[in-house]
Chains A and B, each alone.
Chain A
Amino acid sequence: MKIKTEAGERHVLAITVDNEAGVLAKITGLFTARGYNIESLTVADISSDHALSRITIVTNGPPPVIDQIIAQLERLVPVHKVVDLNDAGEAHVEREIALVKVAGTGEKRIEALRLADVFRAKVVDTTLTSFIFEITGNSDKVDRFIALMRECGLVEVGRTGVVAIARGPEAL
């Protein structure tokens, strides 16, 4: 017997929660306990009184599973609101920051700098044998930049994961 899996689609969820100890564990634990995927997760305090945090989760699943994820999140006591940013078509903006360290000399070093310029990546640190680039964009752009850097002496990457917000004047 083989275990079957179902194909899914990518969704970005924005969740506001009480900024309390244990809330993040509650949410990530819900995903592991019920077998949902997390592609990326970001969290930070967003209110002036530090009472609310915003979590952005990129997840993957067939539509009924996405609906179930939202329903399960909504019934957690410290969760205020869950919005599926993919619900309004593609009408949202996603950004991610990566810090990319490339080491090397000669032609590879020059090529790295040239590609960084094409991607509008900033140089935030340099030595004679290395650069650290800062690149901002959607995950695809960051992925492509990192793939190119692999050919140019990539040694280390740090990524923030996706933050996202809906387009237009309305708030979450």
Chain B
Amino acid sequence: MTEMSGADMVVQALVDLGVDTVFGYPGGAVLPIYDALYKHPTIKHILVRHEQAATHAAEGYARSTGKPGVVLVTSGPGATNAVTGITDALLDSIPMVVLTGQVPTTLIGTDAFQECDTVGITRHCTKHNYLVMDPDRLGPIMHEAFYIATHGRPGPVVIDIPKNVQVATGTYRVPEKIEHQSYRPQVEPDADAIATAVAMIAAAERPVFYTGGGVINAGPDASAALRQLVALTGAPVTSTLMGLGAFPSDDGKWLGMLGMHGTYEANMAMNRADLIIAVGARFDDRVTGRLDAFSPDSKKIHIDIDRSSINKIVPVDLAIVGDAGRALDAIIAGWQDAGHKARDLGEWWRRVDGWRATRCLDFPEKKEAGADIMPQRAVKALFDATRGLDPIITTEVGQHQMWAAQHFGFSAPNRWLTSGGLGTMGYGFPASVGAQIAHPDRLVICIAGEASLQMNIQEMGTVSQYRLPVKIFILNNEWMGMVRQWQELTYESRYSNSYSDSLPDFVKLADAYGWTGLRIDNLGQLEDGIQKMIETPGPVIVDCRVAQLANCFPMIPSGAAHTEMLLQPSDVTGTMDDEAKALV
């Protein structure tokens, strides 16, 4: 119980909470905290080049470690620049604590220099936020904020700290045990519901596991439990974009990702199933396709730690509120106690194999050395070249992201970092910075599009400063490819503003920042180029030129059902009506 300044309390709390890394950018209203950090060399501060990148780097750190990411930014523009990353963390349930400086309490509300209503602006894009008006409250609030960010459904928490609260002194208090008065997430699943789930799974003839980011968030043990339960029941598994890695992609039970750019077999299995076991997934519109045609003949079990996710979009037959890992463990225990054996699902698997026979991820390509590289081929080559190296992959947002999800295989959680819910272009590169900081010796690759990458390309400076060996692999087709694809499908190829004009020379840019820059122009150079990227120490940017007009298939067009997938470009016919055009 010592008297200290608010700024010292903030740093002391970070130390006490086990924080080793803070991503941030200084400014007037956080100078006292930066001065306190100067005296605490145990906390590593990563100086980014833009506050949005600090939030995505913190997300990359959090997703690859399971620990909360921490961000420190100044008031006004510092805080508003962080809003995109905060919202991204909210939509993808990433634990994050953002400390923002604020003008002194005496100036709040006067339109002071670099003042903005940070708690007002972030009220609906955070899990919770605080404006600290009294230094004595800093200790309890810091500890409570980390508790809220990491317990229940994880999410971002903002603590706005006026400059005079950082300078004033008070008593630093550490709460003995955080037991929030009103926030008590339900972690343990209900035993009766578990028993019902076990009976439903045992009775199902056409079951499918549909898993999501909740399994990743529940920790590696939850992924292990999922594998065990799948082995026990013999049922097929599909996953959302967020859930990739929880189940190994080389397992025979794996159907691939489902949804808009998921596999034909995953979507058909969802449509024809008699039981769907949703684990930590939220029936997003990118997953369900047209709702009235979504899995019409199935009973549905939904395991989720957030009660509000249940029955939000798709009504379910059995709700299990709790941690995905605990629920899976409980189902396994119930299954074994009841002495269930895996049912003969042979007929169901024969149907799955029939859908698999469409080979929906195949793509047309020319094989000669001088041919254009199909983007799918580039991702497959990258996957093949990094097998056994256990890489961490981040992506930006767009076609390249979907190709990476389709063609890069993952066998463990926390290796796949992508912006799912918010779909934030500019996410992937800074996220790779955060992942590389957390795992200095691992191979971290950002699979990027040339358009997305430019949204946070200034972070090349951060990478140079901290000598991070990040690799950026650009699938450069000179288009905002997903925008162009939708314009092709929806607007009769009127390509309004989707061409990536005036691109920089990425190799020269690499040179300017002290990186290595490589360019791959045709199929003959692909494998060697990738190998060179992996073997080159330090940061590398690879400008991989790919076929410009390739589109991402298979695809469920907007307003269509799982059974109405477009498998090839030739399936695209006619024009879209307004109802379909109005869907995102």
Contacts and interface: CB of A to CB of B under 8 A. Distances in A.
Interface of A: 1, 17-18, 21-22, 25-26, 29-30, 33, 64, 67-68, 71-72, 74-75, 77-80
Nearest to B180: A77
A67 B311 contact: yes
Contacts of A68: 308, 311-312
Nearest to B312: A68
Interface in B107-147: 119-120, 123-124, 127-129, 131
Contacts of A22: 119-120, 123, 129, 131
Contacts of B153: 75
A18 B128 CA distance: 13
Given A1-B582, A33-B124, A77 B182 contact: yes
Contact of A75 (B307, B315, B582): B307
B308 A72 contact: yes
Given A29-B123, A74-B307, 9 more contacts: A22-B119, A22-B120, A26-B123, A30-B124, A71-B312, A72-B308, A77-B128, A78-B128, A80-B182
A21 B119 CA distance: 10
B201 to A, nearest CB: 25
Contact of B311 (A18, A29, A64, A74): A64
Given A25-B123, A33-B124, A67-B311, A77 B306 contact: no
8 contacts: A1-B579, A1-B582, A67-B311, A68-B308, A68-B311, A71-B308, A75-B307, A77-B127
Contacts of A1: 578-579, 582
A29 B182 CA distance: 19
B181 interface: yes
Contacts of B579: 1
Given A1-B579, A77-B148, A79-B182, A25 B308 contact: no
Contacts of B128: 77-78
A87 to B, nearest CB: 16
Contact of A25 (B120, B306, B307, B582): B120
B223 to A, nearest CB: 25
A33 B311 CA distance: 19
Contacts of B120: 22, 25
A67 B153 CA distance: 19
Contacts of B182: 17-18, 77-80
B181 A75 contact: no
B193 to A, nearest CB: 17
B292 to A, nearest CB: 13
Given A1-B579, A1-B582, A18-B181, A74 B123 contact: no
A79 B183 CA distance: 8
Interface of B: 119-120, 123-124, 127-129, 131, 148, 153, 180-183, 306-308, 310-312, 315, 578-579, 582
Contact of A21 (B124, B131, B578): B131
Contacts of A29: 123-124
Nearest to B119: A22
Nearest to B128: A77
A26 B127 CA distance: 11
A26 B182 CA distance: 15
Contacts of A72: 308
Nearest to A33: B124
A115 B183 CA distance: 50
Given A26-B123, A64-B311, A75 B578 contact: no
Contacts of B181: 18, 80
B315 A64 contact: yes
Nearest to B315: A64
A68 B128 CA distance: 19
B356 to A, nearest CB: 36
Nearest to B307: A71
Contacts of B582: 1
Nearest to A30: B124
A11 B10 CA distance: 44
Contacts of A67: 311
B255 to A, nearest CB: 29
Nearest to A72: B308
A6 to B, nearest CB: 14
Contacts of B119: 22
A74 B321 CA distance: 13
A36 B578 CA distance: 25
A167 B131 CA distance: 39
A64 B314 CA distance: 10
B182 to A, nearest CB: 4
B183 A77 contact: yes
A25 B119 CA distance: 11
A25 B124 CA distance: 10
Nearest to A34: B124
Contacts of B308: 68, 71-72, 74-75
Contacts of A79: 182
A79 to B, nearest CB: 6
B124 A75 contact: no
Contacts of A77: 127-128, 148, 180, 182-183
A67 to B, nearest CB: 6
B132 to A, nearest CB: 12
A21 B160 CA distance: 14
Contacts of A78: 128, 182
B291 to A, nearest CB: 12
Contacts of A30: 124
Nearest to B582: A1
A67 B315 CA distance: 11
A33 B87 CA distance: 14
Contacts of A26: 123-124
Nearest to A18: B182
Q: Which of B119, B120, B308, B312 has the most CB of A within 10 A?
A: B308
Contacts of B578: 1
A72 B182 CA distance: 14
A75 B185 CA distance: 8
B354 to A, nearest CB: 36
A51 to B, nearest CB: 9
Contacts of B148: 77
A1 B310 CA distance: 31
Ranked 5 nearest A-B pairs via Cβ:
A71-B308, A1-B578, A77-B128, A80-B182, A77-B183
Nearest to A1: B578
A25 B582 CA distance: 31
A127 B315 CA distance: 60
A69 B122 CA distance: 20
